Structure 1
Amino acid sequence: MDNTSLIIIDDDASYRGVLQRRLAQKTEFEVLTFASTRAALQHTSRLRCHGIILDMMLAGESGLDAIGQLKQHFAPTHLIMLTGYASIATTVEAMRRGATDYLAKPVALTTLLQRLLASEVAVTSISPAVTLTPAQLEWEHIQRTLLDHRGNISATAKALGMHRRTLQRKLQKMSPRG
């Protein structure tokens, strides 16, 4: 392996610790962890960075907004966005900003290792079109609008023509559990 470090950025200390231990056991990488993108960007390690595992929803900041800076600072081979709130809109946005992969939490360690250790870009076969249910279409529309309004619930609710509390209930009820 020509790159020697992995960086985990997640504000959940227990998740970050478990992931660090498991990756350190299964790979030869030095695994560095940070609770925020700000802390990671202050790190000036001389190690080359093979990959960054970045949580999308960090306390007080968005992982999406930090992708460009992280890529410029560390030049990782892989930048994997992890989220508990996966949607097509945020997947597209993460990839547009430079993420190499996007995975929903919880993610199996084997899946994460496959993505991190892929020696070449895998060619994925095109799967047949999947028809979304009305609930899935509504979820995607809400997520796109939420992304357009930079996570602002009040502005999103106004744009969707619903009360803020109604939107919050829908987000909680419709949220993919995992």
Structure 2
Amino acid sequence: MSTERLLLIVEDDPAFARTLSRSFERRGYSVLRAANPEEVNALLKEHTPTHAVVDLKLEGNTSGLTCVQALNTHSPDMLIVVLTGFASINTAVEAIKLGACQYLAKPSNTDDIEAAFSHVAGVADVELTNRSTSVKTLEWEHIHKVLAETDFNISEAARRLGMHRRTLARKLEKQRVK
């Protein structure tokens, strides 16, 4: 297997992982796939990927941030993009701190991900907005922060937020980026 552009896809949705794999293989990448941190650790014993795409929320409500940390520890030069349907400022900041080069909300396609791999350096002249953050956005950010603190355990997050588990599940389904 060529290691020039070896991509590791950490995704628990087999159909999406397969589609992404095929698309990157057509672009000249060699692709490895893992669905959880244990599979990532097993692959890292034999391979050193140059690129990685990591889903934020993996099977069993496992946080993909643990994979980002392990990948960055294994190879600090690896270009890691976090992909999520549950985007928040809190998890974006943590992903970058742990070694991700970019953070993308789903749906993102291969073009978006490949562009993220090549857009590693920050840009100082990003347009700033004069709009203040809405109460809905602040609520979503707080909910997601608590979810991240509880490793995406809905029941525990609901308890900490003082709301019923079903209420939290409904709020998450409404806010999900599709």
Scaled by the length of structure 1, what TM-score is found?
0.85
Which position in structure 2 is the counterpart of 1:169?
A: 170
Q: Where does residue 140 of structure 2 map in the other structure?
A: 139
Match of 2:11 in 1: 10
Please tell me the residue identity of whatever aligns with 2:16: Y
Which residue pairs with 1:108 in the alignment? 109
- What is aligned with 2:127? 127
Name 2:36's counterpart in structure 1. 36
Tell whether the 8 Å contact from 2:84 to 2:106 is kept in structure 1 after alignment: yes
Counterpart CA distance in 2 for 1:38 and 1:142 is 27
1:165 shift after superposition: 2.1
Residue in 1 that maps onto 2:87: 86
- C-alpha contact (below 8 Å) 1:51/1:77 kept by paired residues: yes
**Mapped contact 1:49–1:75 kept (Cα < 8 A):** no
Helix, strand or coil: the match of 1:106?
coil
Question: Structure 1: which 5+ runs fail to align?
Answer: none
CA change 1:160–1:152 in 2 (3 A) is same
Name the CA distance, whole Å, in 1 between partners of 2:125 and 2:164: 42
**Shift of residue 122, structure 1, vs aligned partner:** 4.7
Identity value in percent: 34
Partners of 1:17 and 1:163 in 2: CA distance: 36
Per-residue CA distance 1:24-72 (angstroms, 9 max, x = gap)? 112x3211112222112212335x4221101111113221122221222
Given that 1:80 and 1:102 are in contact with CA atoms closer than 8 Å, whether structure 2 keeps it comes out as: yes
What is the root-mean-square deviation in Å for CA atoms of aligned residues? 2.1
Amino acid at match of 1:144: K
Q: Is the 8 A contact 2:10 2:34 kept in 1?
A: yes
Between the two proteins, the alignment pairs up a number of residues equal to 173
Q: Deviations along 1:106-128, whole A, 9 cap, x unmatched?
A: 1022111112234x625252321
Structure 1 letter corresponding to 2:155 = S
Contact 2:37 2:66 in 1 (8 A): no
How is 1:17-28 mapped onto 2 (pairs within 5 angstroms)?
Answer: 17-26=18-27, 28=28
Given residue 50 of structure 1, which amino acid in structure 2 is its aligned partner? T
